[in-house]
């Protein structure tokens, strides 16, 4: 299993989001691999996207989003749930893709439908913020799977973002039972 190259992430965020579907997220631990197939994501397009954390500008929290592509952006929401994003586009852009749901493949216990549950199952917390996804211990790989039938819907929980809340920037695999909200 080889990590996706940095060039995969250094592209348009919507393209990356759609192409992440069907890829495998892998975390190597001393107990063995924890692995799931990505079945749901949301694209956050940069500072002009009012739902993106980067819309508040460069802060200590968003610094990773403005960095080079192919790094993890992990944050805590509601004080209890960690959320995992992958940084996309060139450094300075402030875009990322939120991983919302996995189909469990190996070493995962508990539910993986929803960003907080996904992180809990993988053991992902803030210590993984800024982690290079080209590493050998936490990465995304391409299993060479068949094409995925993609559904596009508005993102979840971003009603505050005015017209951006209606944009169809949530993508998921049609008919997959592990999608958080079909």
Rounded to the nearest 10 degrees, how much is the dihedral formed by the CA atoms of 142, 49, 80, 9? 20
Q: In this predicted structure, what is the pLDDT of residue 147?
A: 85
CATH number of the domain within which 98 lies: 3.10.300.10
Retrieve residue 136's tokens. 């050998």
60 lies in which domain range? Answer: 6-173
> Residue 13 contacts by C-beta under 8 Å, 6 or more apart in sequence?
43, 44, 45, 46, 88, 89, 95, 96, 97
Q: How far apart are CA 61 and CA 126, in angstroms?
A: 11
pLDDT of residue 182: 78
180 falls within a domain: no
pLDDT at residue 69 is higher than 80? yes
What is the mean pLDDT of the segment spanning 60-80? 94
Instruction: Give domain status of residue 178, yes or no.
Output: no
72 found inside a domain: yes
Q: Which two tokens stand for residue 87?
A: 């940084």
Confidence of residue 109 (pLDDT cuts 50, 70, 90): confident
User: How many domains in the chain?
Assistant: 1
Average pLDDT over residues 131-138: 98
In a domain, residue 89? The reply is yes
Task: Decide if 34 is inside a domain.
Answer: yes
Average pLDDT on 128-156 reads 95
Residue-level pLDDT at 77: 87
């Amino acid at each position: 299993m080889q990590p996706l190259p940095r060039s995969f992430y250094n592209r348009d965020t919507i393209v990356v989001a759609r192409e992440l579907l069907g890829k495998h997220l892998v975390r190597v631990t001393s107990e063995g691999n924890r692995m799931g197939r990505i079945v749901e994501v949301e694209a956050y397009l940069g500072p002009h996207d009012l739902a993106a954390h980067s819309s508040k500008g460069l802060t200590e929290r968003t610094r990773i989003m403005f960095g080079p592509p192919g790094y993890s952006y992990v944050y805590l929401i509601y004080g209890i749930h960690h959320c995992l994003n992958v940084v996309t586009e060139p450094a300075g852009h402030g875009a990322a893709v939120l991983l919302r749901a996995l189909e469990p493949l190996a070493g995962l216990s508990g539910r993986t439908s929803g960003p907080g549950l996904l992180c809990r199952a993988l053991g992902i917390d803030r210590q993984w913020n800024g982690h290079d996804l080209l590493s050998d211990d936490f990465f995304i790989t391409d299993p060479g799977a068949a094409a995925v039938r993609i559904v596009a819907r508005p993102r979840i929980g971003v009603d505050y973002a005015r017209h951006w809340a209606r944009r169809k920037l949530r993508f998921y695999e049609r008919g997959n039972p592990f999608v958080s909200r079909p």
